[in-house]
């Protein structure tokens, strides 16, 4: 079983393109994504891979948007790290 994370912030004022101002957005879900392997700066090692993305919805327009990601790494809750050898 995989633990699906939630963001630390579940409500935020984010910019809404339709209304051209910040509006209240609420967290509605998390989904798996694959981030491209890109270096943060030239010469740095590439960063990316499996991650979780957080979906927020505008409370005025209903528009959904991604806001924030978290690395997808197994935890002890997922059953990794507790194997008997």
Identify the residue with better confidence: 17 or 3: 17
When pLDDT is cut at 50, 70 and 90, the band that residue 30 belongs to is very high
pLDDT at 78: 55
Contact 37/77 with Cβ under 8 angstroms?
no
Q: What is the mean pLDDT of residues 10-25?
A: 95
Extended strands (E) in the chain: 11-16, 21-39, 46-58, 64-71
52 CB neighbour count, 10 Å cutoff: 20
| CA dihedral sign of residues 76, 79, 81, 85 | positive
Supply the pTM of this predicted model.
0.72
When pLDDT is cut at 50, 70 and 90, the band that residue 82 belongs to is very low
| Residues pairing with 22 in the sheet | 15
Q: Which of 27, 25, 31, 12 lies closest to 70, judged by CA? A: 31
């Amino acid at each position: 079983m995989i633990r699906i994370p939630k963001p630390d912030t579940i409500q935020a004022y984010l910019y809404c393109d339709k209304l051209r101002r910040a509006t209240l957005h609420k967290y509605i879900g998390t989904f798996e994504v694959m981030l491209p392997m890109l270096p943060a700066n030239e010469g740095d090692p590439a960063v990316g891979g499996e991650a979780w993305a957080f979906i927020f919805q505008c409370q005025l327009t209903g528009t959904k948007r991604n806001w924030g990601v978290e690395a997808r790494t197994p935890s002890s809750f997922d059953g990794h790290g507790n194997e008997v050898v």
